[in-house]
């Protein structure tokens, strides 16, 4: 690696070096130290999060593959499996936004097709600093910071579009958040979803002494060396020094690799597949052999390279994209290589498996590394450092928001909220992505979730990717739980039953007491919500050290949710018809607590309060909605997240082209009722003659249900708020 990057990444701490040498039983050479640096980085080893993640449940009747493989898989009936995962590419995107985002897409796509699944959808969760100083009520963002944020934003969106569109995979949804804490450290979380037959699922588990290790795809270059280690340190703002750690993508080559790998699905000669992502060949070799309890002899000098003079360190630790490692049965090498040759791809036997659990690499016949695979993977150290909440948290939580909550809710309040970057339409971004690739998309971006058909069946998959807003700075436990609930409600709002989740946990340094406390609390909140909703967590990613010299990011536990509709003709839409009744379902609070961490409170420069969540009530609502859909009792729905009741009502009105006249819940505080963001609520449309069935079903399920008003006309009337429908549309649809 370059001297500049080496000074940033460094070597192993003395205690870890001693541990590694104790496991190996001798002094390590510089190449082996580099392998441990990468594999024991936070990005690969999950040193601070593995113990916490062990508390999460991945069990369920639909679970086919849980955590530990490249992606998770759930049974969706008739021999079909949905395969999905979300991962981060935050640090690379902070340095080279286009390539960082593009290779993030490429990496998550490989995680899916390496399982033998065809990728059918992409989603992304993006977070940036404010784009203009005027969009930051806190006053933390100056003109230079805003300009850099705009550069990061533009590059990331272009990178996602450039890579995903070329692959022919539709980008169908996600989320976008702006906050000053993400200035200089954007978050780029990419989720991919695929479909496979049960019998075609491929594992990344080596087996069979004498079987071949075949490296396929692109040649290996010097890009991305020690990228995993770079992703495990705080950003210092030196882009030039960090650029060698950023990979460079080629989506056209990845498309060829995708088709070549899928053409081999079901081929008995292919024993296992493993993506080459973080830590490159080192990680792929170590993980497939460790999972299989075996070892390998590898000839590093036969690896196809694209730059002259590359050495073993560079070959083993390069993170060049569009590469896969296959375990191929002895004797099947030629036909497998021929399958890749048809696509013009490298397919080179670089070694063989052996029973002895030792990973041995040679360079021109000389052994240059000899390490037990488990030492690089399973035996990495685990840390549970001291944890404590921020010193000012108690004071912030007890801040009284009653005056704000009880103020009159005005049309100016609503229009300001609709125009805010965290609420306004994302259409100008979605236009950059091709969301109709593959012709499976039934519901495109713009709804609570996307919907894709499972061809050959009546089923459809509802997909959402969500995270909390500023509530995470007040209560990471509640925020993570709320993110799980929001994801479930988003797929439920289309009429789907949530069946499983994936997660991406984005936090600051775990070595800081506050940072580790936030991570620990968020994992506990996520676990509690998944238990309440009976949702298995089958895959995920942890991204730590997301902070710059100005401090850590606002915690962002991002949740990817998959829902299933047995008959897609029963799906809901976020719309209503003139004359339909509008009901609010769910037990969220209408008092000041609902404003804690809300967008309205942020725009009013009010930071504080204690968010709350009622998990049992949310679970009952999520269970009930599919029954209401099956009985054709409700025809449209929208969850109440960013912006609260008023924004949800406006979005349904705009989607329908029909206004409404609704009252705020009786006895509520006006601003809290209109703009509070308490989780666990849905706005639904129902025909008047079906309202009694709705009320009865909610009563039986112990769910709070309130009729607010009626749809109709060309104006938006919410309590005392009155706004012309087209004025709301022009405000909400302003671009970025």
pLDDT recorded at residue 438: 75
pLDDT recorded at residue 668: 84
Share of the chain above pLDDT 70, in %: 95
| Cα–Cα distance, 153 to 186 (Å, whole number) | 8
Is the separation of the CB atoms in 588 and 676 below 8 Å? yes
Judged against a pLDDT cut of 60, whether residue 721 lies above it is answered with: yes
Inside any domain, residue 478: no
Judged against a pLDDT cut of 70, whether residue 112 lies above it is answered with: yes
pLDDT recorded at residue 589: 62
Summarize pLDDT for 339-397 with one digit per residue, the tens: 999 999 989 999 999 999 999 999 999 999 999 999 999 999 999 999 999 999 999 99
| Cα–Cα distance, 731 to 414 (Å, whole number) | 10
| Cα–Cα distance, 230 to 246 (Å, whole number) | 9
Please state the rounded mean pLDDT for residues 443-457.
89
pLDDT recorded at residue 233: 52
Residues 6+ apart with CB under 8 A from 215: 276, 281, 303, 304, 323, 324, 325, 326, 346, 347, 348, 350
pLDDT recorded at residue 184: 87
Summarize pLDDT for 275-324 with one digit per residue, the tens: 998 889 999 999 999 999 999 999 999 999 988 999 999 999 998 888 99
Judged against a pLDDT cut of 80, whether residue 524 lies above it is answered with: yes
pLDDT recorded at residue 591: 79
Please state the rounded mean pLDDT for residues 697-723.
95
Inside any domain, residue 515: no
Catalytic residues: 43, 89
Summarize pLDDT for 170-198 with one digit per residue, the tens: 999 999 999 999 998 999 999 999 999 99
pLDDT recorded at residue 570: 87
Inside any domain, residue 690: no
| Cα–Cα distance, 121 to 168 (Å, whole number) | 9
Three-class DSSP category at 569: helix
Inside any domain, residue 198: no
Judged against a pLDDT cut of 80, whether residue 229 lies above it is answered with: no
Inside any domain, residue 561: no
pLDDT recorded at residue 241: 46
pLDDT recorded at residue 550: 87
| Strand order, beta sheet including 441-443 | 441-443, 450-453, 460-466, 556-565, 497-506, 537-543
Is the separation of the CB atoms in 481 and 619 below 8 Å? no
Tally Cβ neighbours within 10 Å of residue 478. 25
Summarize pLDDT for 73-102 with one digit per residue, the tens: 999 999 999 999 999 999 999 989 999 999
Inside any domain, residue 242: yes
**Mind giving me the DSSP string for 56-85?**
S----TTEEE-BTBSSEEEEEETTEEEEEE
Task: Give the least confident one: 247-251, 317-321, 604-608.
Answer: 247-251
| Cα–Cα distance, 309 to 323 (Å, whole number) | 20
Inside any domain, residue 24: yes
Tell me the pLDDT band of 11, cut-offs 50, 70 and 90.
Answer: confident
Please state the rounded mean pLDDT for residues 574-597.
89
- E-state strands within 630-676: 636-639, 660-662
Which residue matches tokens 């006249």? 661
pLDDT recorded at residue 235: 53
pLDDT recorded at residue 409: 92
The dihedral built from the CA positions of residue 533, 68, 50 and 188, taken in this order, carries a sign that is negative
- Beta-carbon-side half-sphere exposure of residue 91 (alpha carbons within 13 Å): 33
Measured CA to CA in angstroms, residue 46 lies from 52, 78, 270, 575, 727 at distances of 10, 36, 29, 43, 49
pLDDT recorded at residue 243: 44
The CATH number of whichever domain residue 368 belongs to comes to 3.90.650.10
pLDDT recorded at residue 454: 94
pLDDT recorded at residue 646: 96
State the pTM of this model.
0.93
Q: 130 is written with which tokens?
A: 């404010």
What angle (nearest 5°) sits at the alpha carbon of residue 56, between those of residues 453 and 271?
Answer: 60
What is the number of domains present in the chain?
A: 1
Inside any domain, residue 373: yes
Judged against a pLDDT cut of 70, whether residue 255 lies above it is answered with: yes
Domain that holds residue 318: 1-40+211-378
Is the separation of the CB atoms in 492 and 485 below 8 Å? no
387-416 as b/e, with b when 16 or more CB fall inside 10 Å? beeeeebeeeeebebeebbeeebbbebbbb
Q: 670 is written with which tokens?
A: 């006006």
């Amino acid at each position: 690696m370059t001297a500049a990057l080496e000074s940033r990444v460094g070597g192993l701490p003395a205690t870890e070096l001693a541990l590694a040498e104790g496991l190996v039983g001798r002094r390590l050479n510089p190449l082996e130290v580099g392998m441990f640096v990468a594999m024991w980085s936070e990005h690969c080893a999950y040193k601070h999060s593995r113990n916490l993640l062990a508390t999460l449940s991945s069990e369920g009747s639909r679970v086919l593959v849980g955590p530990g493989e490249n992606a998770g898989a759930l049974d969706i009936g008739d021999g079909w499996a949905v395969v999905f995962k979300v991962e981060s590419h935050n640090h690379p995107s902070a340095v080279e936004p286009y390539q960082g985002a593009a290779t993030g897409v490429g990496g998550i796509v490989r995680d899916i097709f390496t399982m033998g699944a065809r990728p059918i959808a992409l989603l992304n969760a993006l977070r940036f600093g404010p784009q203009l100083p005027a969009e930051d009520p806190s006053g933390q963002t100056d003109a230079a910071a805003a300009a850099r944020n705009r550069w990061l934003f533009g590059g990331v969106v272009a990178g996602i579009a450039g890579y995903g569109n070329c692959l022919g995979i539709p980008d169908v949804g996600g989320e976008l958040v702006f906050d000053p804490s993400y200035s200089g450290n954007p978050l780029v979380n990419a989720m991919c979803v695929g479909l496979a037959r049960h019998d075609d699922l491929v594992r990344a588990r080596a087996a069979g002494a004498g079987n071949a290790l075949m490296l396929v795809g692109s040649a290996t270059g010097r890009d991305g060396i020690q990228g995993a280690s770079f992703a495990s340190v705080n950003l210092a703002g030196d882009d030039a020094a960090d650029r060698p750690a950023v990979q460079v993508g080629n989506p056209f080559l990845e498309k060829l690799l995708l088709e070549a790998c899928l053409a081999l699905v079901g081929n008995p000669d292919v024993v296992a597949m493993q993506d080459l992502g973080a830590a490159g060949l080192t990680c792929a070799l170590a993980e497939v052999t460790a999972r299989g309890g075996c070892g390998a002899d590898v000839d590093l000098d036969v690896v196809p390279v694209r730059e002259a003079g590359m050495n073993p360190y560079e070959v083993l630790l390069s993170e060049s994209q569009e590469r896969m490692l296959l375990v191929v049965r002895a004797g099947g090498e030629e036909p497998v290589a021929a399958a890749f040759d048809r696509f013009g791809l490298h397919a080179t036997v670089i070694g063989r498996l052996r029973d002895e659990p030792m990973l041995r690499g040679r360079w021109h016949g000389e052994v240059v590394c000899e390490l037990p695979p488990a030492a690089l993977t399973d035996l990495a150290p685990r840390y549970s450092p001291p944890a404590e909440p921020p010193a000012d948290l108690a004071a912030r939580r007890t801040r009284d928001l009653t005056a704000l909550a009880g103020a009159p809710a005005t049309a100016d309040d609503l229009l300001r909220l609709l125009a805010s970057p965290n609420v306004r339409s994302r259409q100008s971004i979605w236009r950059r992505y091709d969301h109709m690739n593959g012709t499976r998309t039934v519901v495109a971006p713009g709804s609570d979730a996307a919907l894709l058909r499972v061809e050959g069946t009546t089923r459809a998959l509802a997909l959402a990717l969500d995270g909390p807003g500023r509530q995470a700075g007040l209560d990471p436990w509640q925020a993570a739980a709320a993110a799980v609930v929001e994801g479930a409600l988003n797929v439920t709002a289309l009429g789907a039953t949530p069946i499983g989740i994936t997660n991406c946990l984005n936090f600051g340094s775990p070595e800081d007491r506050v940072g580790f406390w936030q991570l620990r609390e968020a994992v506990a909140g996520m676990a509690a919500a998944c238990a309440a909703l009976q949702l298995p967590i089958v895959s995920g990613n942890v991204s730590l050290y997301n902070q710059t010299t100005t401090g850590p990011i606002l915690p962002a536990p991002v949740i990817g949710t998959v829902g299933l509709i047995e008959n897609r003709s029963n799906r809901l839409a976020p719309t209503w018809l003139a004359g339909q009744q509008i009901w609010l379902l769910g037990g969220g609070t209408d008092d000041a607590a609902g404003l804690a961490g809300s967008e309205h409170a942020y725009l009013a420069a009010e930071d504080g309060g204690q968010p709350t969540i009622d998990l049992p009530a949310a679970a009952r609502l999520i269970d009930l909605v599919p029954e209401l859909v099956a009985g054709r009792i409700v025809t449209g729905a929208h969850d109440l997240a960013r912006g609260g009741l008023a924004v949800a009502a406006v979005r349904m009105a705009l989607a329908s082209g029909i206004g409404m006249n609704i009252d705020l819940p009786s006895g509520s505080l006006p601003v809290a009722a209109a703009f509070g963001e308490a989780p666990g609520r849905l706005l639904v449309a129902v025909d008047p003659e079906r309202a009694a069935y709705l009320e009865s079903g909610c009563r039986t399920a112990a769910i709070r249900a309130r009729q607010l008003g009626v749809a109709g006309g060309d104006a938006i009337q919410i309590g005392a708020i009155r706004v012309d429908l087209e004025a709301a549309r022009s405000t909400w649809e302003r671009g970025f």
